[in-house]
Homo-oligomer: A and B are copies of this chain.
């Protein structure tokens, strides 16, 4: 779970909320040194520093200078500015998605990271559940046969309270997409990651649960439904909602091919269902029986649940390993972040126009 090799990585965290705390815990679990935090004001920085047990930075600029890798967890609209500052300083970057609130800026960030020659990653952490890797390995080894259909959903209910509001609801701070940008981006990233192929066109509809939240007009969607087509011709059905009563973080994804199906359920991440015509299998997360890229992510024995923090820590470990010169498989980079921005924009475009939108790169 740690080791001397990554001890020298000094991590700085921009932001002071829940995600900042999660990044700090993950960095530590990965054996890094969390050196500093900078939030939106001196006061919030002090609070975060005390809460996380790290030193407060004087400013974002000072933080960037003091560390090896900058974790950006600020509101969406500030991601680009913070990421560019870090890249310009030649620092490695971990930036929360969405990279930017529009796809053009996100693409610029991906290009800037490429040019800077640093490690620049986006925490699509669901990729780091061993059984998501196993699903991907199954597909890559032609275990599915030819892909026929995709069915996925990412459902939450925390926005069901009409009084619930936060910066994400405000398009200026969070970007024009909320539910899709926030969680749909995970769903399409995981779909393309496991399938090993791209969504090439989509048709979408979106909806808002409430015209107003806390007396402010809501401009961003609470739910989105999509039909998609993949590069190999499979069709798919995806749904995203933050207003689905009783669903807490229900990311489910099933890929069905001519030979078998796989279903991954994020809330039960230690199992993989492999559907077959004559019988179906339940594969437990057990390093002894998994593909190498899945087995390497198992840090506790089968039956001892691994969870969200474990996946986040694995993401951090792989990021730091890349910084150390390794090339870990499946690391989500700024290119993947920019891809999510592109797909989010396509969802909004299609929902507005009613027509299918091409999503090829």
Contacts and interface: CB of A to CB of B under 8 A. Distances in A.
Interface stretch (A86-94, A305-313, A318-326, A334-342): A305-313
Nearest to A22: B300
Contacts of A289: 278-279
A160 interface: yes
B225 A227 contact: yes
A143 to B, nearest CB: 11
B308 A306 contact: yes
Contact count band on A = 35 or more
| Integer count of this chain's copies in the complex | 4
A189 interface: no
A302 B248 contact: yes
Interface in A132-177: 148-149, 151, 153, 155-158, 160-161
Interface string A265-303: 011111001111111111110101100000000011111
A76 interface: no
Contact of A148 (B209, B246, B308): B209
A4 interface: yes
A50 interface: yes
Given A225-B149, A235-B225, A241-B256, A279 B282 contact: yes
Interface stretch (A35-43, A103-111, A200-208): A200-208
Interface stretch (A24-32, A57-65, A66-74, A115-123): A24-32
Contacts of A282: 279-282
7 contacts: A25-B29, A151-B153, A207-B234, A225-B235, A246-B261, A246-B273, A299-B309
Given A28-B29, A279-B289, 7 more contacts: A31-B53, A205-B235, A225-B228, A244-B254, A248-B301, A268-B305, A354-B356
Nearest 8 CB-CB pairs, A to B?
A: A246-B275, A249-B303, A248-B303, A307-B307, A305-B307, A304-B308, A248-B302, A237-B239
